[in-house]
Amino acid sequence: MSAHILILDDDPDVATAARLLLRRRHGDVATLGDPAGLPALLKQRVPDVVLLDLNFTPGCIDGAEGLALLDLLRAQSQPPAVIAMTAYADVPLAVAALQRGAVDFITKPWDNERLVATVDQALARRATARVSAAPTELMGESTAMRELNALIASVAPTEANVMVLGENGVGKELVARAIHAQSRRAAGTLLAVDMGALPESTFESELFGHRKGAFTDARSDRAGRFQAARGGSLFLDEIGNMPLAAQAKLLTALERREVTPIGADQPEAIDVRIISATNLDEARLFDPAVFRPDLLFRLNTIVLRVPPLRERRDDIALLLAHYLRLYEAQYGRPARTVAGAALEALLRHDWPGNVRALRHACERAVILGQGAQYGLADFALGPTSSMTPTTAPAATTLDTLDALERVAIAGTLARFNGNISHAAKTLGISRAALYRKLEKHGI
């Protein structure tokens, strides 16, 4: 997945270090030292991700310049994902940036692996947000979706921890955002953490923070995610992929309502609401060998189950119309209808990968479709149980290769019970590359 990244920092050493690091993975990385040049740059091209320093004028430490630039970036029709860059002492300022729309923050000096992972996650989240007309609204008029939205409205104003269950691609993060937006903590930040992507070796540092000198690479104090989300909500995604040792550490923090940064002498009180999500089925979730029962009881005060698309077929036509119109506008393509036979097949399709898969199929159809109407072949669906051989599209060589890749990835994930790190290692690709392929195949 190609991406354009902009580093906006008046310190040339900082900007150069970040550019050299990131261009190994994303070749298109630019730097800008003078924020006055940003409006002209945005007229030429809006970046996918911006690493934004919050102070530019010497002696200015209130972050007003950076927050104004953040507002400018967020006002773009297709806004970039903004990552705030700040020193540890300015963590409250970073939290203010999160509340204004930044997706994450990095403290300087940074850990290289952490910076790369943060950019990769920002890209993945922007891909999702870019195609959502209302990121805190779950689309659908089916009975199942009306019931889910009613449950969200009932649960959101409380302080109860919520666990969101559902298959990949059903919109679990949208549920989390809807809960936060309707809660008493809506003025605070919702900070999302991909627990499946956190290396066990840095788990405590990422969530609880650390002090300078606590370990070899701890070159400065650093706030963890619990501290950064204070007063708001913490969304722990892919929580079912956590190792048992990490689960024990999280349980201790939740029981005591405090965390102790690595290297610190005193604990710090936490003030966050926990929203978690997993794609594990409930049989595995209640297996003590997979997930600690005591932690589960802390997290699942309220359980919300997001139905797969095949169980709410009444919403498929609405979603198809939404995403086709959205991508037609995004790519400047004329509005077209879906041929009758194709629509019937799309409505019968089981949609493995759920709404995410439907979204990708619509994008492909808009980009590659050539006829007066969208035909079934434009959506490049694989056959599923609800499609007969007469309605399944003919497979091209490229489609066959894609299908083989999808089978290999799905099989490897199943082998490791959804553990992204183990699956990526076995497949011989990076975690970021695997996430991109999961998006591509709607897994």
Structural domain total, the chain: 3
Domain boundary among 255, 279, 307: 307
Is 191 within a domain?
yes
Rounded Cα distance, 209 and 190, in Å: 18
Q: Domain check: are 102 and 222 in the same one?
A: no
Q: Domain check: are 169 and 301 in the same one?
A: yes
* Cβ pair 101, 70 in contact under 8 A: yes
Task: DSSP for 112-136, please give it.
Answer: HHHHHHHHHHHHHHHHHHHT-SSTT
Q: Tell me the two tokens of residue 433.
A: 């590359």
**The pLDDT value given to residue 137:** 55
Domain boundary among 307, 342, 370: 307
Which range of residues forms the domain containing residue 11? 4-112
Domain boundary among 90, 112, 134: 112
Q: Domain check: are 380 and 413 in the same one?
A: yes
Is 394 within a domain?
yes
Give the CATH number of the domain where residue 248 resides.
3.40.50.300
Calculate the alpha carbon distances from 439 to 56, 61, 401 in Å: 37, 40, 16
Q: Domain check: are 166 and 300 in the same one?
A: yes
Is 314 within a domain?
yes
Is 192 within a domain?
yes
Q: Domain check: are 275 and 224 in the same one?
A: yes
The helix or strand, by DSSP H or E, that contains position 151, with its residue range, turns out to be helix 143-155
Rounded Cα distance, 230 and 217, in Å: 25
Q: Domain check: are 274 and 190 in the same one?
A: yes
- What does DSSP say about strands 233-237 and 190-194: parallel, antiparallel, or unpaired? parallel
Rounded Cα distance, 130 and 78, in Å: 7
Beta bridge partners of 106: 85
What strands lie across the sheet with 49-53, from one edge to the other? 28-32, 4-8, 49-53, 81-86, 104-107
Is 137 within a domain?
no
Q: Domain check: are 163 and 297 in the same one?
A: yes
Q: Tens digits of per-residue pLDDT, 227-280?
A: 888 899 999 999 998 999 999 999 999 999 999 989 988 999 999 999 999 999
139-164 residues labelled b (16+ CB within 10 A) or e (exposed): bbebebbeebbebbeebbeeeebbbb
How many Cβ atoms sit within 10 Å of the Cβ of residue 356? Answer: 23
Task: Please report how many Cα atoms fall inside a 13 Å half-sphere around the Cα of residue 198, on the Cβ side.
Answer: 27
Task: DSSP for 226-241, please give it.
Answer: HHHTTTSEEEEETGGG
Q: Domain check: are 153 and 257 in the same one?
A: yes
| DSSP code for 395 | P
Residue 230 sits at φ, ψ, to 5 deg, of -55, 130
Q: Is the dihedral of CA 422, 425, 429, 432 positive or negative?
A: positive
* Cβ pair 223, 231 in contact under 8 A: no
Rounded Cα distance, 405 and 424, in Å: 13
Give the CATH number of the domain where residue 368 resides.
1.10.8.60
Rounded Cα distance, 420 and 253, in Å: 25
Between 316-331 and 354-368, two packed helices, what is the crossing angle to 10 degrees? 40
Q: Domain check: are 164 and 299 in the same one?
A: yes
Q: Which residue stretches of the chain have pLDDT < 70?
A: 1-2, 88-91, 125, 127-137, 382-405, 407, 411, 414-417, 425-426, 428, 432, 442
**The pLDDT value given to residue 228:** 86
3-state secondary structure of 216: coil
**The pLDDT value given to residue 388:** 42
**The pLDDT value given to residue 417:** 64
Is 417 within a domain?
yes
* Cβ pair 402, 443 in contact under 8 A: no
Is 378 within a domain?
yes
Q: Domain check: are 171 and 281 in the same one?
A: yes
Q: Domain check: are 265 and 379 in the same one?
A: no
Percentage of the chain beyond pLDDT 90 is: 44
Nearest CA to 107 out of 230, 214, 14, 201 is that of 14
88-107 residues labelled b (16+ CB within 10 A) or e (exposed): bebbebbbbbbebbbbbbbb
Q: Tens digits of per-residue pLDDT, 152-201?
A: 999 999 999 999 999 999 999 999 999 999 999 998 889 988 887 787 77
Is 126 within a domain?
no
Return the ∠ at Cα 41 (arms to 36 and 47), rounded to 5°: 120
Between 431-441 and 397-415, two packed helices, what is the crossing angle to 10 degrees? 120
Rounded Cα distance, 199 and 206, in Å: 9
Between 112-130 and 12-22, two packed helices, what is the crossing angle to 10 degrees? 70
Rounded Cα distance, 7 and 32, in Å: 6
Beta bridge partners of 409: none
Q: Domain check: are 23 and 152 in the same one?
A: no
What is the phi-psi region of residue 263: left when phi exceeds 0, alpha when psi lies from -120 to 50, beta otherwise? left
Nearest CA to 132 out of 354, 310, 355, 351 is that of 355
Give the CATH number of the domain where residue 18 resides.
3.40.50.2300
Rounded Cα distance, 73 and 360, in Å: 26
* Cβ pair 46, 120 in contact under 8 A: no
